Structure 1
């Protein structure tokens, strides 16, 4: 880089005989240093643009923020590139880019605020004059704790480039609000905090100056656990659990008191009589005897006695115990590899304290479905999960709710032992699949439907429970849908014999490119849709639903979508929703 002339090497260094030669040498060295620094600075700037996200609203909020949801319209350079490359595949958005240019076409601030200003006839604010000069690219809404005796306060955060101009606009807005009182704010050169009162906003700003949400250890832990940041970020602090427990306890008391309120018919004068005998005369068929009985009863002044079913009173202490140990959670929405991705990380101990631990077998079960699977769902189960689920939900129902009686009634109706038979029925894992070969219009019966379930565990036990269910169907119609075959530890259920054979083998869905692009590894539960599995699958579905041509055209770039959930070794529950494009 430090060559001269036509690119040849530097000549030998002349003797240090004169002042001019030394000065020239120093100039060359200095120029080289400056050049290196310039190149390094440019590389650093490029890297910062590509990977950096700039200041975020979390820096303007106090560490005691309970909940937080932010929107970043100026994300990192990599995120901008991903967003542009993804969105440009959709004709409607590509047209905006081509006609208006990327910068103007993606200015959501203008598009949203100009519509809002046009609807507000009381204010004569102009976007270009009153808002655009100071409005930044990052926004957030948060709930700030105000102590045990006060409800959390909502606070809005807006990035500003000119605090003075922003304050002038807020004052105009307050003047427009008239008797409604307007809002309060606290503004510096970078952020504006808007709340119900100036006291709340200023208190939040002072708290952020002492310790910001961005510096809070819980915030850093959970937002990091939710993966790379993107355009939207959400956060729930550990204190949210306590707030939620208190709210649920209050609702429980309210529900209990409402259950004791009599209906209007019970408190107002009304003719009484027994009309219930009429309903023993087959009301479904509406026979002549039934109609005559009703008319006679009404002629005698009889009316059906209204009843208000009592609501079970939830156990407030049990509910509080479930949520009070909540450790927090976070969410990131981003563009990645031609897809839109939503990742959530949260405390995985809520269900685990009742034995509800997800099994990684769910993902393995779905991956073994046939490679041409269009829609799939799968889940894995730990031993004793059925009883754990009953224990978990019984805490919400309270002691007065006769859960055992309800289970006994269900056992009587189905002939099943609950939860033992339900656990045996679903095995260690279950995967349900729909083949892309399905022909909804050409099917003449259930046997033509390539739809079924792949259950891994003890096939004999699963078949035993299925036989119990079939005994409850004297018509035999259910049996047409529950044809079974087994091999090893796998039992296949499908009305289609050929599809049952496919289910018994390792069909190779896990090797499908769309599946690999959508589903995370080691999943406990999976939902997957492959829009590329069949010829025009998505277009046919949209057409049958009556979707206009424009919608169908913009859905064409979609290749797959999926939901994956798992629990890691640190008891953090992860879930990822991912929609991919071709």
Structure 2
């Protein structure tokens, strides 16, 4: 099931047919023939693609190594697809996936697919139709050719720029690509494999061989089952040997995680934290602020993450699952304190079950605070306890309580002096929670008003808003809330932003197409839900008007 309770793989509100069997995968099927025909007609009318080559070109780094240019160019061209890709391609989404040819010992995997399931194609067309500026930008004869021209122009060597897209690339380039990261790599030589779907293995290998010959390092290139595999020089033999032992598609852990994820949409990814955290540190990932930074240990990294970027007629969503992680002692989510916020709520943050989750999370959190103490030369935990006269983690559990909710009413955010925010805490010791709010407020300079009613503490920067939060409303019944979050009744963490209610704060700084695109967006919603011991789901949606 989708985190919101909707069967994964079907656009919300769309009928769902039986699953279509694919090699080693089961993808949800698309809508019935009539809906598919309607979606195809809509695609033909809008000419929607998946990306903007000019935007990607603007972020390209001139002078980068040719190997990176070629790999990036092929993969990005694949992602871009034709300007009318949804209209001219069949709605099958069938055929081998990159995981069918990439090694099963990989701990990381990213896949791009411009030929996803029928339901995804139709949903993408309908959603992008809500963003006319985006749709118009993506319309074109073949953005892949435009991108290739930019790549060729950026290449210093004439042997790259001499390759013709229409005669040398287009005839064999397929619709899918995937990258697998294997154990044993180093920062200088990562152990990766790029699989690009091709229509002509012989021709593809020939052209790619010439392209990578332009680089002094070159690359190992092999073919398998309709794909070309590109690997760093010297790693091809070991990678293909690993493929012979078993692919990702035969890795039961991987397939189980992807089955739990469901519809894999246009982009999907998988990462085995248990086996990959230390590997990433060896690759120098600490530079990105991940394992490998000072005081950070990879020993606590457990489990796997699978995620997908997929479309619904109303929104685009990044959805995912976490499996096999360290079990978190979190109570089942309860968002009743979120959904009854005032009707004029522009943004809200809700955390449920934190008092129980802290019990299992504190050892790791306290260790991180101790590491921070080593960097600052002070006792961070001790200083917090002394400054606020609290005992950690006990008072933190009281403060966050069974549920902790913050809300921002609709207002003119450009007037800083009248900024209003409020919230409520449902705690096992509401009197103590109220006292803690007082202490924190004093440390902040005395800006809060609060009242305790039974087991709930109500607080706000404006006394009138304390009463409004206490009175409540029906935020959860609004169409915008439902579109952004769906069913989050069991969620442990929720973020909601009604963009239409706050856009006056930033629209004045935007012009032209940028302003039009922003105005086309309606809301953002994110949620996380603990679904079982060591398992969770998450979702981040952007809703169109």
Normalised by the length of structure 2, the TM-score is: 0.74
Counterpart of 1:204 (choices 230, 233, 239) is 239
Shift of 1:486: 3.2
Structure 2 residue 513 is matched with structure 1 residue 542: no
CA contact (8 A) 1:424 1:461 kept: yes
SS in 2 for 1:329: strand
1: CA distance between counterparts of 2:124 and 2:403? 37
Structure 2 residue 98 is matched with structure 1 residue 57: yes
Structure 2 residue 536 is matched with structure 1 residue 562: no
SS in 2 for 1:129: helix
SS in 2 for 1:504: helix
Correspondences of 1:100-139 after superposition (within 5 Å):
100=140, 104=141, 107-122=142-157, 123=160, 124-139=162-177
1: CA distance between counterparts of 2:126 and 2:294? 53
Query: 1:159-208, CA deviations, whole angstroms, 9 ceiling, x for partnerless residues?
Result: 1101111122122213322xx221110024610000112x5334434433
Counterpart of 1:452 (choices 422, 425, 443) is 422
Structure 2 portions without partners, runs of 5+: 1-31, 38-88
1:190 to 1:202, Cα distance in 2 relative to 1, 3 A: farther
Shift of 1:53: 3.8
Shift of 1:125: 0.9
1:248 to 1:427, Cα distance in 2 relative to 1, 3 A: farther
Partner in structure 1 of residue 542 of structure 2? 579
Partner in structure 1 of residue 45 of structure 2? none
Structure 2 residue 218 is matched with structure 1 residue 182: yes
Partner in structure 2 of residue 229 of structure 1? 264
Shift of 1:412: 2.1
Normalised by the length of structure 1, the TM-score is: 0.69
Shift of 1:348: 5.8
Partner in structure 2 of residue 6 of structure 1? none
Shift of 1:564: 0.3
CA contact (8 A) 1:245 1:320 kept: no
Counterpart of 2:412 (choices 426, 439, 452) is 439
Shift of 1:346: 1.6
Structure 2 residue 209 is matched with structure 1 residue 171: yes
Shift of 1:524: 0.3
Correspondences of 1:373-452 after superposition (within 5 Å):
373-383=345-355, 385-386=357-358, 388-396=360-368, 405-436=379-410, 438-441=411-414, 445-446=417-418, 449-452=419-422
SS in 2 for 1:349: coil
Structure 2 residue 306 is matched with structure 1 residue 330: yes
1:175 to 1:389, Cα distance in 2 relative to 1, 3 A: closer
CA contact (8 A) 1:416 1:468 kept: no
CA contact (8 A) 2:412 2:505 kept: no
Partner in structure 1 of residue 343 of structure 2? 371
Shift of 1:96: 4.4
1: CA distance between counterparts of 2:268 and 2:414? 44
CA contact (8 A) 2:530 2:537 kept: yes
1:189 to 1:466, Cα distance in 2 relative to 1, 3 A: closer
Structure 2 residue 515 is matched with structure 1 residue 552: yes
1:415 to 1:91, Cα distance in 2 relative to 1, 3 A: same
1:451 to 1:568, Cα distance in 2 relative to 1, 3 A: same
Counterpart of 2:497 (choices 521, 529, 540) is 529
Relative contact order higher in (CA < 8 Å, ≥ 6 apart): 2
2: CA distance between counterparts of 1:427 and 1:564? 19
Correspondences of 1:30-49 after superposition (within 5 Å):
none
Structure 1 portions without partners, runs of 5+: 1-41, 253-257, 259-310
2: CA distance between counterparts of 1:389 and 1:189? 46
1: CA distance between counterparts of 2:534 and 2:397? 24
CA contact (8 A) 2:127 2:314 kept: yes
CA contact (8 A) 2:331 2:357 kept: no
2: CA distance between counterparts of 1:145 and 1:241? 8
Partner in structure 1 of residue 325 of structure 2? 349
2: CA distance between counterparts of 1:569 and 1:236? 19
Partner in structure 2 of residue 285 of structure 1? none
Structure 2 residue 198 is matched with structure 1 residue 160: yes
2: CA distance between counterparts of 1:405 and 1:490? 33
Shift of 1:441: 4.7
**How large is the Cα RMSD of the aligned pairs?**
3.5
2: CA distance between counterparts of 1:312 and 1:117? 40
2: CA distance between counterparts of 1:527 and 1:399? 29
In the alignment of these two chains, the number of paired residues is 449
CA contact (8 A) 1:492 1:503 kept: yes
2: CA distance between counterparts of 1:110 and 1:129? 11
Counterpart of 2:452 (choices 465, 480, 486) is 486
CA contact (8 A) 1:528 1:562 kept: yes
Query: Which structure has the bigger radius of gyration?
Result: 1
1:567 to 1:384, Cα distance in 2 relative to 1, 3 A: closer
Structure 2 residue 111 is matched with structure 1 residue 70: yes
1: CA distance between counterparts of 2:397 and 2:228? 55
SS in 2 for 1:337: coil
Query: 1:222-256, CA deviations, whole angstroms, 9 ceiling, x for partnerless residues?
Result: 1122231100010113653463487499979xxxx
SS in 1 for 2:107: strand
